[in-house]
Chains A and B, each alone.
Chain A
């Protein structure tokens, strides 16, 4: 049976993990490669690196991080942030990323998704959607790292990216993100039932119950979390043990 996936996410700026990760025995709290190795050993199901480097020139550092990670970690790796051309995708995949996550460039030019999927295959094209509630049951999307609102309905946009060839959706609730009060269940369910591609829920995880609910009620295929894992509030294993006891299929 297909397991629900638990995916830690690392924000990386100029090759360094932002807001260092608090693991016992970690030599360098800011080294993404070392942290990735630890998550690999913990049996995280996948990893996401989100490059938040502002300057275009310094983005090359990320390629080196991906290359070093792929030498040591034999698990799926998704890289997002700052990807705007076919060449950007090619370099990251050749460096060892398995999937790339695209947000703003996909909204500005939906044809980019189609082109990328036709060249590299849908399986490696993840479209990231940042959504914010406008009224009950209605969410709009934002681009530019949540700074710019776009007059697009999140659920309709999800269906559109599916038809353009996206293989997966990384759905972040801007309302829930950073709160640790739980995922936006209604948003996740609305998107997950509207499309036939996998949906990764993101934003708001505070404890194992939140992750349980986003699977059981939100119908997510995977759950992404950052701070609860980084600050050792919970380990990947503890979350999986909780889910297993509640009857959610997970890989132990």
Chain B
């Protein structure tokens, strides 16, 4: 069985992500050990909290480098919430630079809707999203659980796998080569969320 590492860098409740992966039959471990991460078949980066704390915590033990090296190696990568936002260059939430894997920034909702954007919202899958194996069996209109005040503005709109409407449209997920990352929480999105996790596991096992 393949080994999936869930990056433990002191941000939020990683346990629920691990539980969801285990529930879907994966061998998933929480780790902040560079060697362990390097030897894993896939890497998951969750995260709840603020952008700056996220970057600072990642940099503290050089985990940011492990993360970038892992992505470059071409193995499957799954970013959730802050683990999605941090892949971009910068955020209006803080002053720290993001990892810059993708061009683009993270902006605060400025519409008239309530903040945080909290609750169940739908995805509109893009052509890119419809080809994405992680979205197998998922269709536009399916609901996922969101909780965030900032949203990703990808430099390359083609990288978006789905859009979600909240007083305007934002990229609720991206899919590029070995990277899948999303703003919503699959680990909190009941059956649909678990099926995304299962699709990712299947991709790793292949």
Contact = CB atoms under 8 A, between A and B. Distances in A.
A1 B13 contact: no
A70 B16 contact: yes
B49 A121 contact: yes
A58 interface: no
8 contacts: A2-B113, A74-B189, A75-B145, A95-B15, A98-B13, A122-B116, A168-B118, A221-B118
Contacts of B103: none
Contacts of A197: 114-116
Contact of A3 (B48, B120, B188, B193): B120
Contacts of B146: 2
Interface in A205-243: 221-222
Contacts of A196: 114-115
B153 to A, nearest CB: 19
B117 A2 contact: yes
Nearest to A120: B49
A51 interface: no
Given A74-B23, A74-B188, A5 B119 contact: yes
A209 B166 CA distance: 26
B149 interface: yes
A14 interface: no
B192 to A, nearest CB: 10
Given A43-B190, A74-B188, A123-B118, A96 B166 contact: no
A159 interface: no
What bracket does the count of chain A residues touching chain B fall in? 20 to 34
Q: For A45, A75, A94, which residue has the most chain B Cβ atoms within 10 angstroms?
A: A75
A198 interface: yes
A224 to B, nearest CB: 13
B114 to A, nearest CB: 5
A161 interface: no
B48 A96 contact: no
Nearest to B113: A2
Given A94-B15, A120-B12, A168-B118, 13 more contacts: A2-B120, A2-B166, A3-B143, A43-B190, A45-B119, A70-B15, A70-B19, A76-B145, A94-B13, A98-B188, A121-B12, A123-B148, A167-B118
Contact of A124 (B48, B148, B165): B48
Q: For B12, B119, B188, which residue has the most chain A Cβ atoms within 10 angstroms?
A: B119
Contacts of B165: 1
A87 interface: no
Contact of B119 (A74, A96, A198): A198
B199 interface: no
Interface of B: 12-13, 15-16, 19-20, 23, 48-50, 113-122, 143, 145-149, 165-166, 187-190, 193-194
Contact of B188 (A4, A76, A221): A76
Nearest to B189: A74
A201 B36 CA distance: 46
A177 interface: no
Contact of B12 (A43, A70, A71, A93): A93
Contacts of A120: 12, 49
Nearest to A76: B188
Contacts of A31: none
Contacts of B143: 3, 251
A222 B119 contact: yes
B118 A74 contact: no
A246 to B, nearest CB: 18
Interface in A119-134: 120-124
Interface string A124-156: 100000000000000000000000000000000
B157 to A, nearest CB: 21
Contacts of A95: 15
Contact of A75 (B50, B147, B166, B188): B188
Nearest to B165: A1
Nearest to A44: B190
Interface pairs A-B: 3 shortest CB-CB: A251-B143, A251-B120, A3-B120
Given A93-B12, A96-B16, A123 B119 contact: no
